[in-house]
Amino acid sequence: MTGAFVEVGYAQENKRGQRVPGDTFISQRDPATGRVISALSDGLGSGIKANVLATLTATMALKGVADGTPIEKTAQLIMRTLPVCRERKISYATFSIVDILSQGKVRIIEYGNPSFVLFRGGESCESEHRELLAQRRKGRGRQEVPESLATLRLQYSEFQATPFDRVVFFSDGVSQAGMGGRAHPFGWGRDGAVERMREILGENPGVSARELARLTVQEALMRDGYSAKDDISCGVIYFREPRQLLVLTGPPFDKCRDAEASRIVAEFKGRKIIAGGTTANLVARELKRSVSIDLRHLDKSVPPGAAMEGVDLVTEGIITLGYVASTLESRAEGSSSSLSPSNPADQVVEMLLESDSIRFVVGTRINEAHQDPSMPGDLEIRRNVVKRIAAILEGKYLKAVTIDLI
């Protein structure tokens, strides 16, 4: 698994009439070790109460495993902490915890959610699992629980991932989609969901984790008549070769390095973005290429983009990057709606999210236009905007990001 990138993506649809999801999905990556931990929890019911319960459960799972508590003990502590619904006599939240260690060792522990699916070579395969038991703690002030719930049964799996494996886990909003309808009176079922995922992988073997999760949630929503009867969530972890993206923005401090900046663009193996008119012109000059304005995506929010041979996207610089940072910050992560970029900044956002390893090369020459007092007051210096974007990509979207100043 040396050199493989672990892509994490998820999609979510709220139960109809609810403004917040009753499911919670959270992840974190340790840049130093490459360890990735993800947790999905489904709170009992829907709305605010379910969201609080699911968030508490997922956060406890993530923090416990990240702090070094064995994954089995973390799960047991969660179940000993969570109460039981007095009326329905069931746990207040379910959970799935996925812990990916270095060299691709995967450990998964589940309670109450549909069993995860491992896709290898485009086909689902069952992994061995064992049962763990956790006793609910009884003590003063705690409600009595039925004998059937005094001992909780957790499912634990462990395996070595191989390149292009996918691990898919979801809430029962996926498996129970369509329940009560003529086509699926007992729900779509886990098997139905797995079969649809297999079809998607057959049609597009390289589909990203984010897109596979989105398509799965959209399929479940369709079976609910486009009115979700429960919160629908799907998380996907994909072991693959990293998708590389270069973003060059700003001319080098010393004009003698213009040729070096252009050579970086010419030799980079991956997708390429140039952000900044001055930067694009110097690359065009050094590489003897032309730049032409692209008027297909006009939007008053950001300046128009341009086109250059050998470069996937050319945009204006600082204003566009500021828009990108704000969009990444405010974007509802996990949205299951399909995205249609309406301007160059939206295109940058999509390219960033579809990439795994992102390299920013930032020129440090001062742009005199940015010193104009008539420019917007919140206009930030280029390198600060790039640092802001990098922090969002690493923290919120688990991307691998490097910044080189030139």
Distance of alpha carbon 196 from alpha carbon 218, whole angstroms: 11
In this structure, the answer to whether residues 256 and 235 fall within a common structural domain is no
In this structure, the answer to whether residues 205 and 281 fall within a common structural domain is no
Local confidence band at 44 (pLDDT 50, 70, 90 cut-offs): confident
In what helix (H) or strand (E) does residue 339 lie, and over which residues does it extend? none
End position of a domain, from candidates 197, 224, 240: 240
Question: Beta 23-29 vs 129-135: how paired, if at all?
Answer: unpaired
pLDDT of residue 328: 93
In this structure, the answer to whether residues 67 and 122 fall within a common structural domain is yes
Tell me the one-letter amino acid at 252: P
Question: Beta 271-275 vs 244-249: how paired, if at all?
Answer: parallel
Question: Beta 36-43 vs 311-315: how paired, if at all?
Answer: unpaired
Question: Residue 401 sits in which domain range?
Answer: 244-405
* Average pLDDT in the chain: 87
In this structure, the answer to whether residues 208 and 260 fall within a common structural domain is no
Distance of alpha carbon 197 from alpha carbon 8, whole angstroms: 16
Please give the residue that has the higher pLDDT: either 198 or 138: 198
pLDDT of residue 151: 63
In this structure, the answer to whether residues 283 and 397 fall within a common structural domain is yes
Local confidence band at 187 (pLDDT 50, 70, 90 cut-offs): confident
Q: Which of 78-82, 162-166, 233-237, 255-259 has the lowest mean pLDDT?
A: 78-82
For the chain, give the percent of residues with pLDDT over 90: 63
Q: Which of 109-118, 124-133, 232-241 has the lowest mean pLDDT?
A: 124-133
In this structure, the answer to whether residues 264 and 374 fall within a common structural domain is yes
Please say whether the beta carbons of 186 and 102 come within 8 A. Answer: no
In this structure, the answer to whether residues 46 and 117 fall within a common structural domain is yes
In this structure, the answer to whether residues 222 and 248 fall within a common structural domain is no
